[in-house]
Structure 1
């Protein structure tokens, strides 16, 4: 952890806050041996304090120029300071610095601070009648701005926290303290605050269509974001899953020759482990499988200690549901945390969750997703919170779509508040550098129109340029979004089939003790939440309605209130001030762990068979089938009259008989449900009717036949037919009949395939 605190006294003052900062870290954060250095301004009422618990020395002054730095730059800090002072356009230089950082500058009685695009390194500020304070720890800003020894809370600001488990707006728990908005510059001169955008980024956000050059450039930025690791001579360990974000990270580290080993949590037969091994083998890097520990009959948890730990690590801005590592007295400079956090910035953010077509729908999405506990919040406070979402929508330029605004909300509040709060806990004890949050990289990604992120063309093209071999390794229960249902190109169908998601074929009985609070931890949560029935939290929360929740026994549907209850539990402890006092409470509970079980998982995609078009047959002389490729055939007819029976089929033998053994590799039924897909491309102007027959057989005879009529209206369309497998059937056949067509006609039938599900 390293950070800074700027103070502008409104009255002539020469106070020294070094001891105050050190004592605050000891008392509120459990951190001893924090180094603090004061850099006085040109007048006695200005000062900038740098602090750290890392082993490096603090030396961020250059003659009369004093700097406050937090986070990590890709270049050495001395180089950043030198280049900044040399830059003729300092805003342009700031917007192009590589890393995850904030930077502040005190010179000529003027203080300037800049936040980056993600805000994962946050800046907080507060103005009181006596002073203006800006810094990277909200609690320090609050205590010094008001001259307090203990915090005063702004309970009304807790509404967003109670709804989401983090501050999903620009508020903090502390009276008067706000988070500086993303990509902003704050100037303080003569005790006046001016906040403005660093640049005109908001005029260009989500406006660009990609080109190959754009993908080349952002891929280079992505690789450059990993140059931070060259500062540490170490072997890094990365958690590798079957998803996309960790794959992007390992691809970059491997390409750059960074020493890295991988680890995957799970059982040997789980998709994450299988895919993790595939990737590690492809890259020839060490891979470890960490199998979950054997089932214990119970676990012991100190809920109170867990909450205190989280509050101290994250300044009360994250709820105790999250697994935040424990406080350690010293900074561990041998530990560097890396991972795929931040991937949502490259995948459309919240735009992936909803198809919004109006402002009313957008507001409803915000309220149903981020303000869903309105029945438990007092009306006046809920209305204020609702207005926040209206204001957020209206502050955006008119060129943005509703999907763009959802994407922007993810950038501004999921990254800028949740990720920032989470990361602040980690950096208190060790280095943490998630490369997907790198400032230049994230900024360039946000220039791209949202749908290129949400359909995953962006991350696909980055991975394609870094390591194309990893593109075709399947994902765990997922695909590239742009090819969810069908190949992006019909000519890629064979690779698309190879990329079939890997699914778990069984469900292991999992148990998450943090869920179903009203069932599993009713007594413990009630005891803490209502320990003080005059708690300020009940100024905004309807106490009686919360009590009613605790009286509703045995209803698992009440798990929907878990987020609210964990947030209320955390808030109650924070507002009691016992999280930092010597008055410690023990709330140990023994939680019974149900025996794990393994159940067959239904509806799993087991296999995809591509059906070569050469297997299409007809005995009707008026029908012609011409194979164009392995995946495409042209069907044509002449002199059609309604009495003609224009049938063609897959495989051979009459409809009453099963296909012969030479087609055994394709006709075999391999699941309980099947879906047949095929594309029809018309070469005639009129519509026609195509009858589809799905026929099932045992070894010797037909056992079931189903028919569906397809109106061929579009010039090109993909059709799907779903069939439940007959219990006696072990093979199938498909037949088609053309009816209600013109006398002559022609169309192509392409990329026929069948999916089998468990």
Structure 2
């Protein structure tokens, strides 16, 4: 059972000392002991006057083109999934990437980092994807730079054992580590759509953003060109079978995976569909109905409590390592589900529905879009804070203040950039949640997020927020398959496509608290939540993890988390899974990262002396 997949582990140094070079090589060699896909005999490095490149070239898998190209003048390599939606060249081949390097900024989509080293004269270029879904980390002191796809590698090189204050508090308050921060002090993540150039003739690296995302809202599309958009989405999907033997796609009771299914069906792509959860859950119930109606290759993947408890040490550490601690451990059971689907001998790509919530304007409500409270800067700041602080956080007061200050600055910057006030929430969730939360979630497998691509976001963000709130893209594309359009989905109905009627109806429905039901809605059954094992406060795993946190009295976690509140809310007589579960596992996640990553202790959750 493969729980972690890594294709290319690499680091780039600029003006680094020979001491740091040796540490990097030692750490890469150590990494190969943890991950079977890294062959220690394939560790390589190139050293130049000002720069050094270190990395692994793992064994080539069948059906996958080489991700490394080099000759006497150039080295080009990449990691992740790259799609050329114009299909002008094969992006999964590093040689072709080199031949078409000047085109990549306008045609490449996906989740990737691509690096080109020109040797005469020395120049290193680093390019990441349009939304920054692929996490590229760096450390900088003066002229010295170290860039890697691993926080852990940089952290060990610079010997940092402290939390980043803003990063940790964002994780506690929002549920993800946003901005340019990680959990580790001194290690940051590069922004989205970056083209960084390290040139021996330049005193500092040249950093350029090749995105025009902020201008989309200026397009003011009254209604999207669905046919043109659909042809571009289909074109991207049609490229995938060229490089991946299997196309896997989640199927739930929601709209986003149904939109994916529609696009794949219209593209005539045979995909394998799966649903996580109990067979009687609403997701599985609706997915089974869709699969039967469409004659799909579909399976339901169920993870039972016993499997989670037995494999907890393995899956929790694996998730912590692959996300560098930036994914809540409540999602660890997903690794078991992925392992049940995955065959390490084949080459699969997963299509996800991430970003679909932006396309349908999910983060605003009708009252906000009607301007009931105005669109002044302080109003938007308050609304964004209320939307993101949806649960009672366990962070200390000073940490909450730090996060609110960051949110206020984000809104201020949006006003300075001329982003329409009604678009600011969707822009925030695009730049922050999608980029960082989704980017970390999908690092364990080949994945392609179709809804995070330029063709779709240009259209979605080019509409007014009020038009986006009617879900016109979902509505019009899914309607091309009438049976899919008519099948029920989870606890929702189609929104009116008339902007004013939709806003007024949604506003009144919430105002008078009417819960509508129709033949197109199925109520969710909370008894069949796939995280039920976490909600059971009396199971052995819960008690063990609670003791692990409380027994590590000297951990720096307690500099950020209210120990008193944690202890009180996790007592058996007080524990409420609906309100306390997220805070509990957020604290556990930070404690794991502090103990097992920053301080490199051996895995022993039952050991009360794990921290000195």
TM-score normalised by L of structure 1:
0.64
C-alpha displacement of 1:305? 4.7
Range moving further from structure 2, 576-585 or 398-407: 576-585
How far, CA to CA, are the matches of 1:265 and 1:93 in structure 2? Answer: 36
How far, CA to CA, are the matches of 2:547 and 2:524 in structure 1? Answer: 42
Please name the residue that 2:532 is paired with.
512
1:22 aligns with 2:28: yes
Match for residue 11 of structure 2 among 5, 14, 38: 5
Match for residue 359 of structure 2 among 341, 346, 352: 346
Please name the residue that 2:214 is paired with.
202
1:564 aligns with 2:574: no
Range moving further from structure 2, 313-322 or 526-535: 526-535
C-alpha displacement of 1:451? 3.2
Please name the residue that 1:101 is paired with.
112
Cα deviations across residues 441-497 of structure 1 (Å, max 9, x unaligned)? 4455433333333320122233345x4553333323222233599998xxxxxxxx9
**Structure 1: 5+ residue runs without aligned partners?**
489-496, 589-758
Cα deviations across residues 234-284 of structure 1 (Å, max 9, x unaligned)? 454533233222222222222223222434567888764564355335544
Please name the residue that 1:365 is paired with.
383
1:187 aligns with 2:205: no
Range moving further from structure 2, 451-460 or 528-537: 451-460
Please name the residue that 2:56 is paired with.
51
1:461 aligns with 2:476: yes
Cα deviations across residues 88-146 of structure 1 (Å, max 9, x unaligned)? xx3x64132243322233333333323323221122111025720122222223334x2
**Structure 2: 5+ residue runs without aligned partners?**
1-5, 84-88, 503-515, 608-612
Match for residue 225 of structure 1 among 213, 216, 236: 236
Cα deviations across residues 269-302 of structure 1 (Å, max 9, x unaligned)? 8764564355335544344566x69x98998456
Please name the residue that 2:137 is paired with.
124
Contact kept, 8 Å, 2:471 with 2:495, in 1: the verdict is yes
Contact kept, 8 Å, 2:29 with 2:43, in 1: the verdict is no
C-alpha change, 1:534 and 1:371, in structure 2 (3 Å) is farther
1:241 aligns with 2:252: yes
Please name the residue that 2:403 is paired with.
385
C-alpha change, 1:143 and 1:296, in structure 2 (3 Å) is closer
C-alpha change, 1:220 and 1:188, in structure 2 (3 Å) is same
The 5-angstrom pairing of residues 577-596 of structure 1 reads: 577=596, 581=600, 583-587=602-606
Match for residue 76 of structure 1 among 65, 86, 90: 90
Please name the residue that 1:143 is paired with.
156
How far, CA to CA, are the matches of 1:485 and 1:350 in structure 2? Answer: 17
C-alpha change, 1:162 and 1:498, in structure 2 (3 Å) is closer
C-alpha displacement of 1:365? 3.4
The 5-angstrom pairing of residues 538-687 of structure 1 reads: 538-550=558-570, 554-555=573-574, 559-577=578-596, 581=600, 583-587=602-606
Please name the residue that 2:267 is paired with.
256
1:482 aligns with 2:496: yes
How far, CA to CA, are the matches of 2:49 and 2:19 in structure 1? Answer: 6
C-alpha change, 1:443 and 1:120, in structure 2 (3 Å) is farther
Cα deviations across residues 392-425 of structure 1 (Å, max 9, x unaligned)? 112225542333111111111211111111111x
How far, CA to CA, are the matches of 1:502 and 1:558 in structure 2? Answer: 26
Match for residue 127 of structure 2 among 101, 114, 117: 114
Contact kept, 8 Å, 2:11 with 2:148, in 1: the verdict is yes
Contact kept, 8 Å, 1:477 with 1:502, in 2: the verdict is yes
Larger radius of gyration: 1
Contact kept, 8 Å, 2:561 with 2:587, in 1: the verdict is no
C-alpha displacement of 1:152? 5.0
Please name the residue that 2:553 is paired with.
533
Please name the residue that 1:668 is paired with.
none
C-alpha displacement of 1:522? 6.2
C-alpha displacement of 1:201? 3.4
Please name the residue that 1:435 is paired with.
450
TM-align CA RMSD: 4.1
Cα deviations across residues 7-52 of structure 1 (Å, max 9, x unaligned)? 10255889467743533424666764267564647x4221233435
How far, CA to CA, are the matches of 2:60 and 2:265 in structure 1? Answer: 29
Q: What number of residue pairs does the alignment pair up?
A: 564
Which has more helix, going by share of residues? Answer: 2
C-alpha displacement of 1:168? 3.1
Contact kept, 8 Å, 1:537 with 1:572, in 2: the verdict is yes
C-alpha change, 1:35 and 1:449, in structure 2 (3 Å) is farther
C-alpha change, 1:264 and 1:66, in structure 2 (3 Å) is closer
Please name the residue that 1:160 is paired with.
170
How far, CA to CA, are the matches of 2:582 and 2:592 in structure 1? Answer: 16
SS state at 1:338 partner: strand
C-alpha change, 1:25 and 1:14, in structure 2 (3 Å) is closer
How far, CA to CA, are the matches of 1:584 and 1:114 in structure 2? Answer: 36
How far, CA to CA, are the matches of 1:2 and 1:298 in structure 2? Answer: 27
How far, CA to CA, are the matches of 1:186 and 1:472 in structure 2? Answer: 48
SS state at 2:260 partner: helix
Contact kept, 8 Å, 2:68 with 2:78, in 1: the verdict is no
Contact kept, 8 Å, 2:491 with 2:524, in 1: the verdict is no
C-alpha displacement of 1:163? 2.3
How far, CA to CA, are the matches of 1:66 and 1:278 in structure 2? Answer: 50
How far, CA to CA, are the matches of 2:142 and 2:312 in structure 1? Answer: 40
Contact kept, 8 Å, 1:29 with 1:312, in 2: the verdict is no
Cα deviations across residues 718-744 of structure 1 (Å, max 9, x unaligned)? xxxxxxxxxxxxxxxxxxxxxxxxxxx
SS state at 1:71 partner: strand
1:471 aligns with 2:501: no
How far, CA to CA, are the matches of 1:26 and 1:378 in structure 2? Answer: 39
1:313 aligns with 2:322: yes
Contact kept, 8 Å, 1:99 with 1:439, in 2: the verdict is no
Contact kept, 8 Å, 1:347 with 1:455, in 2: the verdict is yes
C-alpha change, 1:533 and 1:235, in structure 2 (3 Å) is closer
How far, CA to CA, are the matches of 1:273 and 1:443 in structure 2? Answer: 32
